[in-house]
Chain A
Amino acid sequence: MTRALRWLTALALIAGLGAAFGYAPREAVQGNVQRIMYLHVPAVLTAYLAFALVFVGSLGYLFTRRMGWDRLAVAAAEPGVLFTGLTIVSGSIWGKPTWGTWWTWDARLTSTAVLFLVYVGYLLLRGMVDEPDRRARYAAVVGILGAANIPIVHFSVKWWRALHQPSTILGPEPSPIAAPIALTLLVNWIAFTLLFLYFLARRAEIARLEESHAG
């Protein structure tokens, strides 16, 4: 199962790169630097998915006290942090030639940085508590509270005056994106989701093995 997912992920990533560099046109206003969006947008959407699963796993653990839910939460949190980090770094690299700065304390950028730090804290907390039930309980509380930041990140561009552009993919209005650009984004979104599911499966298996070694 994991082997099949690995190959599917590899093929999807190759297709995504091919679409980003070979199929998608040069964007009329931004030029080729817009191709960073085929990395940046799927990364943040994947991070949302990851942290939503941390929320589900955390709630599941607190209600049932079954370690399987905790394994789901930690297996989603690690790649979630990775994809959020990629979102911030790729956005910063895109921002330098486009906005003229690597970083600005814009509402979207700042709330995304807070999201990143909250889940880095979540992972650090897990590393500091040895007793499995206590670790799972403390982490579940942070996992649930941390999820409150996801809508803040997403709607920050609507709620506050921001330099960052409004949502074009998950926005309320139909997307104004040209078809080849939308298709390239979709292919890369699928590729990143598969990559996340592969990471999730492997990390959950590692957590299961760690528990069996410890127990």
Chain B
Amino acid sequence: MPDNWGYVFAAYGLAVIALGAYWRRLARRAKSLAGPGGSE
């Protein structure tokens, strides 16, 4: 069976993009709702 690294990196790459985008979306939304100076 060939190694198919391209498929492996595609799967992990898409996962990193999707999870990272959701992580950033939550952070931005929380920051905007918390107002100036708000974080966690």
Contacting pair A31 B1 (CB below 8 A) = yes
- CB pair A202 B12 closer than 8 Å: no
Question: Please, how many angstroms separate the alpha-carbon atoms of A202 and B33 in the complex?
Answer: 12
- B30-A36 in contact (CB<8A): no
A209 contact from B2, B15, B19, B30, Cβ within 8 A: B30
Give 1 or 0 for each of B20-40: 1 = CB within 8 Å of chain A CB: 001100110110011000001
Which residue of chain B has the shortest Cβ distance to A203 in the bound complex? B26
On whether the beta carbons of B15 and A33 are closer than 8 Å, the reply is: no
Where chain A touches its partner, the secondary structure class is helix
- Check A86 against B15 for contact (C-beta < 8 Å): yes
B18 touches A32 (CB 8 A): no
How long is the Cα–Cα vector from A5 to B11 in the complex, in angstroms? 25
Nearest residue (CB) in B for A82 is B22
* Interface footprint category on B: 20 to 34
Given contacts A89-B14, A97-B2, contact A32 B33 (CB under 8 A): no
Is A29 an interface residue when CB atoms closer than 8 A count as contact?
Answer: yes
A36 closest partner in B (C-beta): B11
Tally of A interface residues using CB under 8 Å: 34
| Max chain B C-beta neighbours (<10 A), residue from A40, A43, A79, A202 | A202
- B22 contacts across to A, CB distance below 8 A: 78-79, 82, 199
For window 187-215 of chain A, which residues contact chain B by CB distance below 8 Å? 195, 199, 202-203, 205-206, 209-210, 213
User: What are the residues of chain B within 8 A of A97 when measuring CB–CB?
Assistant: 2, 4, 7
Tell me which residues across on chain A come within 8 A of B27, comparing CB atoms.
202
Contacts of A209 in B (CB 8 A): 30, 33-34
Interface pair B26/A206, CB less than 8 Å apart? yes
Q: Given the complex, which residues of A lie within 8 Å of B15, measured CB to CB?
A: 39, 43, 86, 90
Known pairs A86-B19, A213-B33; list 5 more (Cβ under 8 Å).
Answer: A31-B3, A32-B5, A86-B18, A90-B11, A206-B29
The 19 listed contacts between A and B (C-beta, < 8 Å) are A2-B40, A31-B2, A33-B7, A35-B8, A36-B7, A36-B8, A36-B11, A39-B11, A39-B15, A86-B18, A93-B14, A94-B11, A195-B19, A199-B22, A199-B26, A205-B30, A206-B26, A209-B30, A210-B33
Q: Give the A-binding residues of B (Cβ under 8 A).
A: 1-5, 7-8, 10-12, 14-15, 18-19, 22-23, 26-27, 29-30, 33-34, 40
